[in-house]
Amino acid sequence: MITGNTALVMISLFAFATIANAGSTIPVITNNSEIETHIGKTVTIRGIVENSRIASILGVDVESFDPDLRNELAEATGIIERDIITEKTLQKQAEKFGIVASRGPGVYYRLKEVSSDKTAHVKKYEAAGKSRLTEGY
């Protein structure tokens, strides 16, 4: 006979296992050649956080503050978004708002949090037995 407490524990264990298994199916990207095939999908990106004004891993914009992990091996999980900026887009922006700072025409990627529209934040990644700068983490 299953009592109320036993049923609650069983449901909790099932939910935990489901969440754990769901997390293990998220692809881990360690090469920027994989970015384009995962647009709109939830992924974990792993690599060195670029030391630039806009932090990025593998060319995908991420948040990196408190702590700032630039030049460190890190990872972030979220949904990859792509933004294509053309010269025409910039001209229309300038007509509407005046001259604004931009990175110029190009294809830009951002990792968005799964549960909000915020840019995903990085966390430190420690590869077991590997240097933080070792490729193939």
Give the total residue count for the chain. Answer: 137
Ramachandran angles phi, psi of 21, nearest 5°:
-70, -35
pLDDT digits (tens, 9 = 90+) for 101-131: 889 999 999 999 999 999 999 999 987 555 4
pTM of this structure: 0.73
Q: Is the Cα torsion angle 131, 38, 77, 9 positive or negative in sign?
A: negative
High-pLDDT (> 90) share of the chain, %: 68
In the chain, domain spans = 27-124
CATH number of 27-124: 2.40.50
Instruction: Please report which residue ranges of 25-116 form alpha helices under DSSP H.
Output: 87-97
